[in-house]
């Protein structure tokens, strides 16, 4: 299993916990609002908004919440204005970190991120210090249960998938960022059930972590992901299978 697959697995598990706490709704509403402000409230004409709404529906967000988020973005009802920003830095073991944030107060956000990185063995870098290591792509995930892997892989590759991977409980299909929604439509039309679709930052090289460093890194990841202004955390880490098994048992 590749480091990218483990990253996806960890994010899914954390996402379920966040959903239970309602935290994931806050991040999704921010994305819906910003997407609507940037490209308008029509999902058909705004791919980013459509992606955000699909993600919200996948988490069973009420339709009224989604509608309010869109209306706040278009200015039809009042709401907080969020600014998009990114931060880059390093975690334990030299893991490159790329953080996507939405905030109404950049000074607060950068102070919070610097504090968390320092507390958990990382440090904040200059913009551009690690960004070149990541490529923006699309990712579609489909539950493996009851699915013909060969048929799915054949269709995905035929439609232009850049990578296809079996992650155990999920098939992960990587596409170009701008091709993701068309791929999703093709897969749904063929009868496949989509678990999630999102834009991701794929690292071009990985850093392998031993058990102690992996524990430290995952604590930092949790802390950053819990920060209210951080939308997504990306890192170029790889955890060997034997270490991953130990961490999963703890």
pLDDT at 93: 96
Return the C-alpha torsion angle 12, 18, 23, 26, nearest 10.
20
pLDDT at 249: 65
pLDDT at 170: 94
Sign for the CA dihedral angle at 96, 101, 107, 108 comes to: negative
CATH number, domain at 12? 1.10.10.200
Radius of gyration, CA atoms only, the chain: 18
**Closest alpha carbon to 4 in 243, 175, 239, 247:** 239
pLDDT tens, N- to C-terminus, the chain (250 residues): 344 555 566 666 656 566 555 788 999 999 999 999 999 999 999 999 999 999 999 988 999 999 999 999 999 999 899 999 999 999 999 999 999 999 999 999 999 999 999 999 999 999 999 999 999 999 999 999 999 999 999 999 999 999 999 988 999 999 999 999 999 999 999 999 999 999 999 999 999 999 999 999 999 999 999 999 999 999 999 998 888 888 776 6
Q: Please indicate, yes or no, whether residues 226 and 192 belong to a single structural domain of this protein.
A: no
Beta bridge partners of 230: 101
Sign for the CA dihedral angle at 176, 182, 188, 194 comes to: positive
Q: Please indicate, yes or no, whether residues 103 and 213 belong to a single structural domain of this protein.
A: yes
The answer to whether the beta carbons of residues 46 and 25 sit under 8 Å apart is no
Per-residue DSSP letter, 207: E
CATH number, domain at 242? 3.30.70.980
Q: Please indicate, yes or no, whether residues 211 and 113 belong to a single structural domain of this protein.
A: yes
Q: Please indicate, yes or no, whether residues 9 and 58 belong to a single structural domain of this protein.
A: yes
Q: Please indicate, yes or no, whether residues 101 and 211 belong to a single structural domain of this protein.
A: yes
The number of folded domains in the chain is 3
Q: Please indicate, yes or no, whether residues 217 and 121 belong to a single structural domain of this protein.
A: yes
Q: Please indicate, yes or no, whether residues 35 and 139 belong to a single structural domain of this protein.
A: no
């Amino acid at each position: 299993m590749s480091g990218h697959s483990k990253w996806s697995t960890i994010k899914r598990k954390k996402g379920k916990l966040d959903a239970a706490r309602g935290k994931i709704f806050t991040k999704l509403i921010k994305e819906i609002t910003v997407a609507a402000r940037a490209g308008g409230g029509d999902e058909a004409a705004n791919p980013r908004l459509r992606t955000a709404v699909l993600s919200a529906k996948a988490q069973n967000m009420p339709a009224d919440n989604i509608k309010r988020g869109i209306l706040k973005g278009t200015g039809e009802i009042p709401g907080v204005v969020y600014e998009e920003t990114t931060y880059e830095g390093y975690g334990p073991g030299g893991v490159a970190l790329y953080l996507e944030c939405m905030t109404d107060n950049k000074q607060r956000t950068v102070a919070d991120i610097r504090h968390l990185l320092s507390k958990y063995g990382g440090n904040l870098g200059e913009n551009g210090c690690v960004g070149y290591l990541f490529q923006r792509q699309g990712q579609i995930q489909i539950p493996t249960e009851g699915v013909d892997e060969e048929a799915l892989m054949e269709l995905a590759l035929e439609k232009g998938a850049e990578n296809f991977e079996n992650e155990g409980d999920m098939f992960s299909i990587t596409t170009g960022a701008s091709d993701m929604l068309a791929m999703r439509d093709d897969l749904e039309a063929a009868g496949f059930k989509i678990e999630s679709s999102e834009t991701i930052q794929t690292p071009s090289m990985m850093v392998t972590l031993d058990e102690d460093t992996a524990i430290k890194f995952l604590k930092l990841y949790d802390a950053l992901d819990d920060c209210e202004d951080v939308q997504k955390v990306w890192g170029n880490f790889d955890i060997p299978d034997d270490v991953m098994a130990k961490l999963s048992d703890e």
